[in-house]
A and B are shown apart, each in its own frame.
Chain A
Amino acid sequence: MFDYPILSILIWLPILVGLILVSSNDIGKSLSTTITLLTTLIILFISIKLFQSYDYSEGNLQFVERFVWISGLNIFYYLAVDGISVSLVLLTSFINFLIAIYASSEDYDNKSSYLGYFLILEGLLMGTFSAFDSILFYIFFESLLIPLFLIIGIWGGENRKYATIKFFLYTFFGSVLMLISIIYLANLADSFAIEDFYYLTLSFEEEVLLLLAFLIGFGIKIPMWPVHTWLPDAHVEAPTSGSVILASVLLKVGGYGMIRFLLPITTEAGIYLSDYMIYLSLIAIIYISFVAFAQEDMKKLIAYSSVAHMGFVTMGIFLVFNLMGNNPTAAAIGLEGAMVQMISHGLISAALFFCIGIMYKHSHSRLIKDNFGVAQFMPIFSFMMVFFLMANSGLPGTSGFVGEFLVITSSLGSSFLFGFLAALSLILSASYSLKLGKNVLFGDNQKNSQGYLECKSNEKIVLGTLVIFVLYLGISPDLLFNLLDKSVSDIISSISLGKA
C-alpha cells in the first residue's frame, strides 16, 4: 500500500500545474507543451500504479482518504475508488496523455492557458471519479463546466458563444436538480456520504421524484434523448482536443453518476419506470442513428454517434432495474456491458475526433462535401480511420463489440423486442459510420485542393496507441472484466439492499 495519498495527488497535481500555466503570461508553445506532456505522463504512471495495486478480489472501496472538511455541515473530504472508478481514472489519464501528445499539432494563441485548462479539467475529472462525499462530488461535477466553458468559448469555432453558453446553462440546470436531491437525501440520512444514502428507506413518491431529478441531471450529461441537443453544437464549435475530452470522458461522468446515485438509491421507482427509460434509450440508439446518417458536418455526425452509443450505456443501466427481480445474472451482464461500452466508446470517439481534427487542419472545413479522396494522400491515416469507423459500428475484434454484445444479451432476458431493436444498431451504426468513411476517405481527388499530407509522427502515435488498445480490449477484454466484476456484483447487492 502507499503511504502517500495517491488520489489527492491525482487530483491536485494537474490542477496546480494547470493553474500555473493559466496564470502565467504565455510562456511559449513548446515549453507549455512539454510541461503538459510531463504532467500527464506522471499522472498516467500514477494511475497505472493505482490500477496495479488495486485488489480485484476484494471489491470494497480502496485507497480511502477521509478528512473532516466542513464540520458544521457534516461534509467530509472523502475520496475512494472501486473497480468502476479505477477504470474511468485510467481512461481519463490515458486520454489526457494523448491530448498532450496531440497538442504539438495544434496551433492556438496563448497555448499555455489552453493547455492549462486541460490540466485543470483532468484534475477535476479525477476528483469526480473518486469523490465519495456527495457535496464533494457535486463540486467537482460542477466545476468541470468551467474549464470546458472557457476552452470552447475562447478557442472554439465561429458560433462558439452560443454553443458554450448553451452547453453551460443546459448542464447547469440539470445539476441544480441534482443538488436539491442531494440536500434532501443528506437531510434524511444526516450525512453527505454517498454510501449512507444507500441504506435509506424512502417512500415511493419520494423515490419517483428523486429518480426524475437524478435522471434529468445525469441524463443531460450523458446525454440522453431528448436532452441531448447541446452536444452537437458543443462538439462542432469546440477545438479538437476539447471535443476529444468532452466525448471520451465528460459524457462518462453522467453514466458514472447514474451508477453511483440512481441505481442503489431509487430502486423501487426505477423498477416501476424501467420500461419507459429503456424506450428512451432505444429511441436514442435507433432514432439518433437515423439523424446521424442525415448529417453533413463530420463532427455533428460523430457527436450524434456518441449519443447513440451512450444509449447502450443507459440501456444497460436501466436493464438492471428491469431484470433485478427475475434474472440477476442478466442484470449483472447488462451493467458490465454498460461499463465496458463506456470505456470502449471513450477510446473510439476520441480516436474519431482526432481523425476529424487532422483532416480539418488541412481542409479547414468540417463539411463532408469539402473532404474527399483523403485515402489517396494519407494512406496510413485512412487505414486507421477505417479501423475506427469499423470499431464504431461494433466490429467484433474491437472493443466496440463487447459492450454492445453484453447489453443485447442482457436485454434479451427482458424482452425479445428490446434485444431486436438494440441489435438494429448493427446496421444503423454501420450505415452512418461507413457513409462517413465512404464519402471522406474514398473517391477520386485529382487536385488535392485541400492540401492533404500524411499525418505527422505525433498524430500517428496518438492514433496508433488507440488502435492497439481498441484491438486489445476487443480480443481480450478480460483485463477490464477482472477490474469490474466484483464492483458490479457489489453494486447489484447494494441495490437489493436498498430494495429490501
Chain B
Amino acid sequence: MIALTLILLLSPLIGTLLLLFFQNSSKNLTILISNISILVAFLLSLFLLYLFYSSNSSSISANFLTFADTKLFSLHFGIYIDSLSLIMSSVVTSVSLLVHYYSISYMKHDKSFNRFFVYTNFFTFSMLLIVFANNFLQLFIGWELVGLSSYLLIGFWIKKESAIKANYKAFLVNRVGDIGLLLGLCLILLSYNTTDYNQIFQIKNSINLDSVSIFGFTFNALSAICLLLFIGAMAKSAQVPLQFWLPDSMEGPTPISALIHAATMVTAGIYMVARLSPLYELTDGVLVFILYVGSITAFFLGLVALVQNDIKRIIAYSTISQLGYMTAALGASLYSLAMFHLITHAFFKALLFLCAGSIIIKCHHEQDIRKIGGLRKYMPITYLAFMYASLSLIGFPITSGFYSKESIIDAIGYFGHTIPYLMLLLSIFTTTLYTSKIFFKVFFGESTLPKEEQNDNPKNENDRQMLLPLFILTAPSVFLGLFIYDPLMIGILFQNSLAANELTIAFYNDYVINSFKFFLHSFTSINFLILLIGLIFSYLYYYKKAFNINVPQFIRSTLTKEYGFESLSSYFIPKIQNIFTKYLWRKIDISTIDNGLINNTSSLFSNLSSKMKKLQTGFIYHYSLIIISALIFLLILVRITY
C-alpha cells in the first residue's frame, strides 16, 4: 500500500515536470498528460480506499525521502495512510480531475494554455503533500507550496493589473498565518526534537504538562502550539481577520477558483486541525477560540455576500462563510462533522463555481449578475446543476449539504454552545438569500444575450468538456450525504483518525437516530422554517420584485466595504508601508548613517587636510623661516637639557 500511495503522490509531480518540459508542444499532449496524471491519482485513491477498508488495517506512517539526518534532528518526507488522508485525497483528486477536464474547454482560447496545466498539476501535488504528510515539516512545506500555486494561478493573466495586485495580497496574507504555523513547527522541533505526527501523538500528554514562555507570559505548551498552528489555518482557510484575500483571489480563472479557493486549498486548514485533533482535544481555550472565530466568520461574511453583484465574489463570500461552519464544528470538537461538511462542500461549491464559469463563458466574460438574465432557456444543464448545488448549499432536506450543515448546527446547539448556534442558525437565512439572488437574477428575467445567440438548442450551451463535469458533480452534491451519513456518524468512516468520536456518537444516538429520521425531523425544525422564510422572501424580492427594502445606508456601506477590510488592505496598508519605509530609508539609512557618519567623516578628513594644506604656502622664505627657527629651537633645547 505504501508503494501505491507513493505513486499516487508523485503522479501529479511527474505530470508537472513532463508538462514543464513539453511546454511548447501541442495542446493535445498537454491535455493528455495533465488529465492522465490526475486520473491515475484519483483511481489510486479509490483503490487504496477500498484496500484500506477491506483489509481493516490501522494507520500506516512511512518515510520515503530524507530531508536531513543529523545528530541533532532527523527530518523526512513521508506518507501517512489512514481513512482521513485517503478520503481527503479522494475528494481532492476527484475535484481536481473534473476541473482539469473542465478547463480543457474553459481555457481553450488562452495563449498560455500549457502553462495553466503545469500550475494546476503542481497544485494537486502540493495539496497531496499536505494530505499525506506524516510530520509537521512536510505539512509546512506543502502548505507553502500550495500558497505558491495559488499565487501563480491567481496572477495567471499577468497583464491584468487587478490580478497582479490580488495575488500579491493573497500571498502576503497567507504568509501572516504562516508565521504562526512556522513558529508552532519550530517550537515542536526545538522542545521535542521530532516533527513526526505519531511521535508527538504519543507524548501529547506530557506536552500538555509543559509550559512555554511567550512575551513574558507562561502558557501551556500544547495550547500555545495548537494556537500557533491554528493561526496558520486562519489565513489559509480564510477566517476572520485574515479572510480578505479570498474575494480578490477571484481574479484568477474560474476553474481554479473552483479547485483551489473552494474545494481544496482553503480546506487545508480544516484538514490540519482535524488531522491534529488528538492534540486539539487536550486544549481548552483554543477550541473555544476556534468555535467563536468560525461562527463569527460564518455569520458576518455571509452578510457581506448580500450586497455583492459579481457572481464569483458572492460565491467566494459564501465559501468563507461555509468555512466558518467547518471551523465552528472543529471548535466544538465535532471533527468528523467538520470533515463531512468539507467533503460535501467541496463537491457542491466546485459545482457552483463551474456553473458560474459556464455562465461567464456564455455571456462573454460578463460577471455582473445585474447584467445577465434569462439564461434558463439557453443553458438548461447549467440551470439544473446550479439549482441542485444551491439546494445543497442552503441545506434543503435530503441533499448532502443538508446532512452536513444541519448536523453541525444542530450538534452545536445540542452541546449547548448557544451564541455560535444562533449565529449559524441565522446564517441559514443569509445563505438562502444570496444563493437565490444569483439563481433568480441569472436564470430568470430578461435575457441579455445578443439576438443571434438566443438559441435554445441545447447543443449550443457549451462544450462537452464543460458540461460533463457539471453532470458528474451533481450526484455527490445531492446524494453523497445520504449514503455516508450513517457510517460517518457512528465512526466507521473515519475510524480512529479523529478524536472525540464519542461526542458525535452521542449526538447521533440521542438526537439523530438515523439518517431517515433526521430527514423527517428536519421538516419540523426551526432550521427548515428559516430556510422556507428565506426562500419565500427571496422569491418575492428578487424574482417578483414585489417590494423594496430600504436598507439603512450605513449598513449597506459597511457591508459593501467588507467591514473596512477592503480599504485597509488595498489602501491603508500599502500607503502606510510606502510612507513608512521611505521615511526609514531616507531618515536613518541615508541621513544618519550614510551622510551623518560616513560622508561626514570623509569630509572631515578632507576639511582637515585642506586646512593643513595652507601651511605649504610655496614661499621659500616661509619654509626657511621654519627651518631656521626649528634649528634655533633645537639648539636651545639641547642647551637646556645639558
Q: Do chains A and B touch in the complex (CB under 8 A)?
A: yes
Nearest-Cβ distance from residue B217 to partner chain A, whole angstroms: 10
Which chain A residue shows the least CB distance to B176?
Answer: A427
Is B69 in the interface zone, CB < 8 Å from A? yes
Nearest-Cβ distance from residue B14 to partner chain A, whole angstroms: 15
Q: Is the CB of A332 within 8 A of B175?
A: no
Q: Is the CB of B581 within 8 A of A294?
A: yes
Contact pick for A409, options B158, B189, B584, CB 8 Å: B189
Q: Is the CB of A416 within 8 A of B214?
A: yes
Is B145 in the interface zone, CB < 8 Å from A? yes
B residues less than 8 Å from A485 (CB atoms) = 70-72
Which residues of chain A from 422 to 436 have a CB within 8 Å of any chain B CB? Answer: 423-424, 426-427, 430-431, 434-435
Is A459 in the interface zone, CB < 8 Å from B? no
Q: Is the CB of B585 within 8 A of A332?
A: no
Interface string of B549-591 (1 = CB under 8 A from A): 0000000000000000000000000000110111011001100
A residues less than 8 Å from B72 (CB atoms) = 329, 332-333, 336, 485
Is A451 in the interface zone, CB < 8 Å from B? no
A residues less than 8 Å from B155 (CB atoms) = 442
Nearest-Cβ distance from residue B377 to partner chain A, whole angstroms: 38
- Do A290 and B581 contact each other (CB < 8 Å), given the known contacts A423-B183, A476-B65, A478-B67? yes
Q: Is the CB of A294 within 8 A of B215?
A: no
A residues less than 8 Å from B140 (CB atoms) = 396
Is B251 in the interface zone, CB < 8 Å from A? no
Q: Is the CB of A478 within 8 A of B172?
A: no
B residues less than 8 Å from A329 (CB atoms) = 72, 193
Which chain B residue shows the least CB distance to A479?
Answer: B68
Question: How distant is the Cα of A196 from the Cα of B507 in the complex, in angstroms?
Answer: 74
A residues less than 8 Å from B581 (CB atoms) = 290-291, 293-294
Q: Is the CB of B585 within 8 A of A295?
A: yes
Which residues of chain B from 55 to 88 have a CB within 8 Å of any chain A CB? Answer: 65-73
Question: How distant is the Cα of A409 from the Cα of B172 in the complex, in angstroms?
Answer: 22
B residues less than 8 Å from A458 (CB atoms) = none
Is B248 in the interface zone, CB < 8 Å from A? no
- Do A416 and B179 contact each other (CB < 8 Å), given the known contacts A333-B73, A390-B148, A485-B70? no
- Do A395 and B65 contact each other (CB < 8 Å), given the known contacts A290-B580, A412-B187? no
Question: How distant is the Cα of A424 from the Cα of B176 in the complex, in angstroms?
Answer: 8
B residues less than 8 Å from A413 (CB atoms) = 190
Interface string of A394-438 (1 = CB under 8 A from B): 011100011001001110110111011001101100110011001
Q: Is the interface of B mostly helix, strand, loop or mixed?
A: helix
A residues less than 8 Å from B597 (CB atoms) = 226
Question: How distant is the Cα of A427 from the Cα of B181 in the complex, in angstroms?
Answer: 13
Q: Is the CB of A427 within 8 A of B161?
A: no
Question: How distant is the Cα of A449 from the Cα of B186 in the complex, in angstroms?
Answer: 48
Is B102 in the interface zone, CB < 8 Å from A? no
Is B178 in the interface zone, CB < 8 Å from A? yes
Is B480 in the interface zone, CB < 8 Å from A? no
Question: How distant is the Cα of A488 from the Cα of B17 in the complex, in angstroms?
Answer: 37
B residues less than 8 Å from A434 (CB atoms) = 168, 171-172
Is A489 in the interface zone, CB < 8 Å from B? yes
Contact pick for A416, options B176, B212, B589, CB 8 Å: B212
Q: Is the CB of A476 within 8 A of B190?
A: no
Nearest-Cβ distance from residue B175 to partner chain A, whole angstroms: 5
A residues less than 8 Å from B145 (CB atoms) = 395-397
Question: How distant is the Cα of A142 from the Cα of B179 in the complex, in angstroms?
Answer: 41
A residues less than 8 Å from B70 (CB atoms) = 336, 481-482, 485
Is B159 in the interface zone, CB < 8 Å from A? yes
Question: How distant is the Cα of A361 from the Cα of B179 in the complex, in angstroms?
Answer: 38
A residues less than 8 Å from B578 (CB atoms) = 294
Which residues of chain A from 464 to 500 have a CB within 8 Å of any chain B CB? Answer: 475-478, 481-482, 485, 489
Is B226 in the interface zone, CB < 8 Å from A? no
Is A260 in the interface zone, CB < 8 Å from B? no
Is A365 in the interface zone, CB < 8 Å from B? no
Which chain B residue shows the least CB distance to A229?
Answer: B594
Is A119 in the interface zone, CB < 8 Å from B? no
Nearest-Cβ distance from residue B45 to partner chain A, whole angstroms: 23
Q: Is the CB of B593 within 8 A of A376?
A: no
Nearest-Cβ distance from residue A236 to partner chain B, whole angstroms: 13
Interface string of A227-241 (1 = CB under 8 A from B): 001100000000000
Q: Is the CB of A431 within 8 A of B172?
A: yes
- Do A294 and B168 contact each other (CB < 8 Å), given the known contacts A396-B140, A412-B186? no
Which chain A residue shows the least CB distance to B145?
Answer: A397
Q: Is the CB of B159 within 8 A of A443?
A: yes
A residues less than 8 Å from B158 (CB atoms) = 375-376, 441-443
Number of interface residues of B (CB under 8 A): 52
Question: How distant is the Cα of A84 from the Cα of B63 in the complex, in angstroms?
Answer: 29
Which chain A residue shows the least CB distance to B179?
Answer: A423
Q: Is the CB of A444 within 8 A of B168?
A: no
Q: Is the interface of A mostly helix, strand, loop or mixed?
A: helix
B residues less than 8 Å from A272 (CB atoms) = none
Question: How distant is the Cα of A114 from the Cα of B436 in the complex, in angstroms?
Answer: 71
B residues less than 8 Å from A67 (CB atoms) = none
Q: Is the CB of A430 within 8 A of B66?
A: no
A residues less than 8 Å from B272 (CB atoms) = none
Is A352 in the interface zone, CB < 8 Å from B? no
Q: Is the CB of A427 within 8 A of B172?
A: yes
Q: Is the CB of A475 within 8 A of B183?
A: no
Which chain A residue shows the least CB distance to B217?
Answer: A416
Q: Is the CB of A294 within 8 A of B182?
A: no
Is A170 in the interface zone, CB < 8 Å from B? yes
- Do A442 and B164 contact each other (CB < 8 Å), given the known contacts A294-B582, A396-B141? yes
Q: Is the CB of A478 within 8 A of B69?
A: yes
Q: Is the CB of B179 within 8 A of A427?
A: yes
Is A166 in the interface zone, CB < 8 Å from B? yes
Q: Is the CB of A291 within 8 A of B584?
A: yes
Q: Is the CB of B186 within 8 A of A408?
A: yes
A residues less than 8 Å from B65 (CB atoms) = 475-476
Q: Is the CB of A412 within 8 A of B183?
A: yes
Is A88 in the interface zone, CB < 8 Å from B? no
Q: Is the CB of B144 within 8 A of A291?
A: no
Which chain B residue shows the least CB distance to A294?
Answer: B581
Q: Is the CB of B183 within 8 A of A419?
A: yes
Q: Is the CB of A170 within 8 A of B598?
A: yes
Q: Is the CB of A226 within 8 A of B144?
A: no
Is A263 in the interface zone, CB < 8 Å from B? no
Is B213 in the interface zone, CB < 8 Å from A? yes
Q: Is the CB of B589 within 8 A of A426?
A: no
B residues less than 8 Å from A330 (CB atoms) = 190
Which chain A residue shows the least CB distance to B118?
Answer: A383
Which residues of chain B from 152 to 188 have a CB within 8 Å of any chain A CB? Answer: 152, 155, 158-159, 161, 164, 168, 171-172, 175-176, 178-179, 182-183, 186-187
Which residues of chain B from 396 to 412 have a CB within 8 Å of any chain A CB? Answer: none
Question: How distant is the Cα of A170 from the Cα of B599 in the complex, in angstroms?
Answer: 11
- What are 29 A-B contacts with C-beta separation under 8 Å? A169-B602, A229-B594, A290-B584, A291-B581, A294-B582, A336-B70, A336-B72, A375-B158, A390-B148, A396-B144, A397-B141, A401-B141, A405-B182, A408-B182, A409-B190, A410-B190, A413-B190, A417-B215, A423-B179, A426-B175, A426-B179, A435-B168, A438-B164, A442-B164, A443-B158, A443-B159, A476-B68, A478-B69, A489-B71
User: Interface of B with A (CB < 8 Å)?
Assistant: 65-73, 140-141, 144-145, 148, 152, 155, 158-159, 161, 164, 168, 171-172, 175-176, 178-179, 182-183, 186-187, 189-190, 193, 212-215, 577-578, 580-582, 584-585, 588-589, 593-594, 597-598, 602
User: Interface of A with B (CB < 8 Å)?
Assistant: 166, 169-170, 226, 229-230, 287, 290-291, 293-295, 329-330, 332-333, 336, 373, 375-376, 386, 390, 395-397, 401-402, 405, 408-410, 412-413, 415-417, 419-420, 423-424, 426-427, 430-431, 434-435, 438, 441-444, 475-478, 481-482, 485, 489
Closest 7 CB pairs of A and B: A294-B581, A396-B141, A409-B186, A294-B585, A442-B158, A444-B159, A294-B582
User: Contacts A294-B585, A427-B172, A485-B70 given; 18 further ones with Cβ under 8 A?
Assistant: A166-B602, A229-B598, A230-B598, A290-B585, A332-B72, A333-B72, A373-B159, A405-B182, A408-B183, A408-B186, A419-B183, A427-B175, A430-B175, A435-B168, A438-B168, A441-B158, A444-B159, A476-B66
